[in-house]
Structure 1
Amino acid sequence: MAAGSERDAERTPQGGTVEQAKEACLRLLAVRARSRAELAQRLAAKGYTADITDRALDRLAEVGLIDDAAFAEQWVHSRHTFSGKGKQALAQELRRKGVAQVDAAPALEAITFDDEAARATDLVRRKLRTLPRDLDRDKTIRRLVGMLARRGYSQSTAFAVVKAELADRNLPDPDLN
């Protein structure tokens, strides 16, 4: 049997071969890491059958190219460090990407309360530089807490960080002395 005939033996009427599905996955993985569910979704959109998709993804998982736990760890680290996302937002993003809770939990637990508070403090300090100085204190609190909430920080963390930062800023103005 020729090499081409061997591939055709795996071909299904609706989709391509396992080899073609693996190649499509490799092209997607070359751009960025992806979860197994994301790859399955992309292969389904390209017309690959569930059987071909499962076989291709199983093979890629066997060789370590697909690992949802490692993906979750990398995603959480990257999005927390560079985008300032809180645990709640990261958990939601991982769910949307099809990462199972069992794979997502260890990655999310790697972010400690102190890590989250430090990142939130940095975000608040950056935002305070752009807010008008004469803005009412209550409006300032609402804007800062809202900004943190949209990034996935818990309400208690957001309020604690904002209150602490505003208390630090309420030092007497040296120009008035």
Structure 2
Amino acid sequence: MARRNVPADIADELLSRFVEVGLIDDAAFAATLVRSRSEFSHRGRARIRQELREKGVDREVAEEVLAELDPADERAAALELAYRKVRSMASLERQVAYRRLAGMLARRGYGPGTVSSVLAEVLGDPAVEFSTAGQ
């Protein structure tokens, strides 16, 4: 409102009223964002935490909502993403595919433990084949 030259006293009054009637609710916004990013964008806890911070959500509110994120669901999303991505890596050597998948999962915000276990499962799957060109 400051950018639109709304006087500070009027802006404060409007914001108070918006909070009172439920139009501004950081906890609800954070819960919706966490659900959306984890289910549809396949993002991990760290990346979602960063996004909440960028959007100005209070740290305590963000941590409360993130605590509700089930680690099993987070791992399942990472696994789905890795299986989807590994299909396009058949022409690569296993080490290159491992490095690229690990980087992609880390950028999406998955923790090292999740990345390791997902890659062990995906790359250990006999149905996943890689090039033997440098071996």
Mapped partners of 1:49, 1:120: distance in 2: 47
Match of 1:82 in 2: 40
Range moving further from structure 2, 98-107 or 113-122: 98-107
User: Would the alpha carbon gap of residues 145 and 50 (structure 1) be closer, same or farther in structure 2, given more than 3 Å must change?
Assistant: farther
Q: Aligned-residue CA RMSD in angstroms?
A: 1.7
Match of 1:167 in 2: 124
What amino acid does structure 2 have at the position aligned with 1:149?
A: A
User: Would the alpha carbon gap of residues 49 and 163 (structure 1) be closer, same or farther in structure 2, given more than 3 Å must change?
Assistant: farther
2:114 to 125, 139, 157: 157
Q: Which structure has more RCO (C-alpha within 8 Å, separation ≥ 6)?
A: 2
What amino acid does structure 2 have at the position aligned with 1:139?
A: V
Mapped partners of 2:115, 2:45: distance in 1: 12
Gaps of 5+ in 2: 130-135
Paired-residue identity, %: 45
Match of 2:133 in 1: none
Match of 2:85 in 1: 127
Match of 2:62 in 1: 104
Gaps of 5+ in 1: 1-42, 173-177
Runs of 4+ with deviation above 6 angstroms:
none
Mapped partners of 1:158, 1:69: distance in 2: 29
Mapped partners of 1:48, 1:171: distance in 2: 60
1:71 equivalent in alignment to 2:2? no
Q: Which has the larger radius of gyration?
A: 1
What amino acid does structure 1 have at the position aligned with 2:71?
A: F
Range moving further from structure 2, 45-54 or 142-151: 45-54
